[in-house]
Amino acid sequence: MARRMKDKYDKYWGDIEKMNKLIYIAVVLDPRHKMEFVKFALISMYGEGKGNELGEKVFHARVELFNEWNNTNTVNTSRDNQVNLGQSTSRELSQEPREHVRKMIKEKFKKHKIEAGGGDNKSELERYLSEDIEEGPDEFDILGWWKVNSCRFPILSEMAQNVLAVPISTIASESTFSTGGVYLMHLGVL
């Protein structure tokens, strides 16, 4: 059983080239850790050389994933905004008080500016990573944090919801570490 456990460990964690970087991206999306913690942990686990190499791969995977998400989200949002602005603005102007309409237009502009990367030239990802790490208890609600901060990081919050929903374990690894079947075979049940 120890050999099977070691083989499973090596399959998923032993070779840096074969490792799924998504688990590290999930840690980056935890506002209590971000990339600094991932780099520190990788160097602690794999040493300076391998740790830095894997850190670079995580960095590039994170940027590629964000850019892909951003491109997909921007295309869909732009299409939705064109439809929404064309359909609702004239109706809202005639039915709503002017102050409410001004607020609505400002919010839409702010959202447009964020999606277009306006304001400063930092991407949403760069802004998120440049902020201080959150202090939080062990029971910290990561998805709750992303929900609260979805206005500031609309693309990242959607990405976080999907990345953090990925199950970490699989039935294959569970069966590798299980001894229940062996015990039942000795009792003559199986």
| 108 found inside a domain | no
pLDDT at 31: 93
pTM of the predicted model as reported, rounded to 2 decimal places: 0.59
More reliable by pLDDT, 57 or 174? 57
Distance CA 35, CA 61 (A): 12
pLDDT at 113: 64
Count of beta carbons in the 10 Å neighbourhood of residue 149: 17
| 166 found inside a domain | yes
| 81 found inside a domain | no
Distance CA 58, CA 35 (A): 9
**Is a pLDDT exceeding 80 seen at residue 153?**
yes
| 94 found inside a domain | no
pLDDT at 76: 54
Instruction: Render pLDDT for 69-106 as a digit per residue (tens, 0 to 9).
Output: 888 765 554 444 444 444 444 444 444 566 777 777 77
| 145 found inside a domain | yes
| 49 found inside a domain | yes
| 180 found inside a domain | yes
Distance CA 190, CA 187 (A): 8
| 84 found inside a domain | no
Q: Which domain holds residue 61?
A: 2-71+121-186
pLDDT at 128: 92
Q: What percent of the chain has pLDDT over 90?
A: 15
**Band (66; pLDDT cuts 50, 70, 90):** confident
pLDDT at 168: 60
**For the chain, what is the domain count?**
1
pLDDT at 169: 56
Instruction: Render pLDDT for 4-44 as a digit per residue (tens, 0 to 9).
Output: 888 887 777 777 667 778 888 888 999 999 988 989 988 99
69 in Cβ contact with 172 (< 8 Å):
no
Count of beta carbons in the 10 Å neighbourhood of residue 42: 22
User: How confident is the model over 45-60, as a mean pLDDT?
Assistant: 88
Instruction: Render pLDDT for 106-131 as a digit per residue (tens, 0 to 9).
Output: 777 766 666 665 555 678 889 999 99
